[in-house]
Chain A
Amino acid sequence: MLARIGNSLFWLGRYIERSEHLARYAKVQYASFMDSPLAPSKEFVLESILNMGGMYQSYLSQYPELSEDEVIHYVTIAENNAFSVQANIGYMRENARGARDRISSELWEAINIFYHDINNYSASRLQYEGVHQFSHKVEVNSSIIKGCIDNTLIRNEAWILISLGIHLERAIQVALIMLNKVYDIEKLDASNLGGPVESYQWAIMLKSAESFDMYKRYHPEKKSSYSELNFLLFNQDFPKSLAYNLQKVQGNIRKIAFRDQRNSDSIEFKAGKIASQFQYLTMDEVEGSLTGFLNETVANLNNLAALLEQKYLCF
Chain B
Amino acid sequence: MGVGSIQNNSAEVFGNYELKPEFLDEVFSDERKPNDHYRKVLDYFAHLSAQDFKALNDHTKLSFFNQGVTFAVYSDKAKGVERIFPYDLFPRIIPAAEWARLEKGLIQRNLAINHFIHDIYNKKQILRDGKVPAELIFSSKNYTKAMLGVKPVGGIYNHISGTDLIKHSDGQYYVLEDNVRVPSGISYVLANREAMKRTLFNLFRKFQVRTVQDYTQQLLSIMHSVAPEGAETPTCVLLTPGLYNSAYFEHAFLAMDMGIHLVEGRDLFVDKNFLFMKTIYGPHRVDVVYRRVDDDFLDPLLFNPDSVLGVAGLMAAYREGNVTLLNAPGTGAADDKAVYSYVPDMIRYYLNEEPILNNVHTYRCEIDADYKYVIENMHNLVIKPVDESGGYGILVGSKATQEEISNFKDVIRQNRRKYIAQPIMALTRHPTFIENENQFEPRHIDLRAYTLLGKDKQFVLKGGLSRVALTKGSLIVNSSQGGGSKDTWVLAE
Which A residues are closer than 8 A to B by beta carbons?
1-6, 79, 94, 97-98, 100-102, 105, 108-109, 112-113, 116, 119, 157, 256-259, 312-315
Which of B79, B262, B263, B280 is most buried by chain A, counting CB atoms within 10 A of its CB? Answer: B280
Within 8 A of A (CB), among B275-305: 277-282
With A and B bound together, what is the CA distance between A116 and B68 in angstroms?
Answer: 10
**Interface SS of chain A: helix, strand, loop or mixed?**
helix
**Which 6 A-B pairs rank lowest in CB-CB distance, beginning with the nearest?**
A100-B252, A101-B256, A101-B255, A101-B262, A6-B280, A3-B278
Q: Are A257 and B281 neighbours in the complex by a CB distance under 8 Å?
A: yes
Within 8 A of A (CB), among B225-258: 243, 248, 252-253, 255-256
Which of B248, B260, B263, B278 is most buried by chain A, counting CB atoms within 10 A of its CB? Answer: B278
* Given known A98-B243, A109-B66, A315-B266, contact A2–B252 (CB-CB < 8 A): no
Q: Are A101 and B252 neighbours in the complex by a CB distance under 8 Å?
A: yes
**Interface SS of chain B: helix, strand, loop or mixed?**
mixed
Q: Are A4 and B78 neighbours in the complex by a CB distance under 8 Å?
A: no
Q: Are A3 and B279 neighbours in the complex by a CB distance under 8 Å?
A: yes
With A and B bound together, what is the CA distance between A113 and B68 in angstroms?
Answer: 9
Q: Are A2 and B277 neighbours in the complex by a CB distance under 8 Å?
A: yes
With A and B bound together, what is the CA distance between A40 and B176 in angstroms?
Answer: 74
Of the residues A102, A109, A313, contact of B67 by C-beta under 8 Å: A109
Q: Are B243 and A2 neighbours in the complex by a CB distance under 8 Å?
A: no
With A and B bound together, what is the CA distance between A108 and B66 in angstroms?
Answer: 9
* Given known A101-B252, A101-B255, A101-B256, contact A4–B267 (CB-CB < 8 A): yes
Contact partners of A102 in chain B: CB under 8 A: 256
* Given known A100-B256, A312-B280, contact A4–B264 (CB-CB < 8 A): yes
Contact partners of B279 in chain A: CB under 8 A: 1-3, 6
Number of A-B contacts (CB under 8 A): 68
Q: Which residue of A lies closest to B255 (CB)?
A: A101
Q: Are B267 and A315 neighbours in the complex by a CB distance under 8 Å?
A: yes
Flag whether B65 is at the interface (Cβ < 8 A). yes
Flag whether B210 is at the interface (Cβ < 8 A). no
Q: Are B280 and A1 neighbours in the complex by a CB distance under 8 Å?
A: yes
Total chain B interface residues with beta-carbon distance under 8 A: 25
Which B residues are closer than 8 A to A by beta carbons?
65-68, 78-79, 243, 248, 252-253, 255-256, 260-264, 266-267, 277-282
Can you report 22 A-B residue pairs in the complex whose CB atoms are below 8 A from each other? A1-B281, A2-B263, A2-B278, A2-B279, A4-B266, A94-B243, A100-B68, A100-B252, A101-B260, A105-B67, A108-B67, A108-B68, A109-B66, A109-B67, A116-B65, A119-B79, A257-B281, A258-B280, A258-B281, A259-B281, A313-B280, A314-B278
Q: Are A100 and B262 neighbours in the complex by a CB distance under 8 Å?
A: yes
Other A-B contacts than A6-B280, A101-B261, 18 sampled, CB-CB below 8 A, are A1-B279, A2-B267, A2-B280, A3-B267, A5-B261, A5-B262, A97-B68, A97-B243, A98-B243, A100-B252, A101-B260, A109-B67, A116-B65, A157-B280, A258-B280, A259-B282, A315-B266, A315-B267
Contact partners of A6 in chain B: CB under 8 A: 279-280
Q: Which residue of B lies closest to A8 (CB)?
A: B243
A92 to chain B, nearest CB (A): 14
Q: Which residue of A lies closest to B264 (CB)?
A: A4
B89 to chain A, nearest CB (A): 22
With A and B bound together, what is the CA distance between A5 and B279 in angstroms?
Answer: 9
Contact partners of B65 in chain A: CB under 8 A: 116
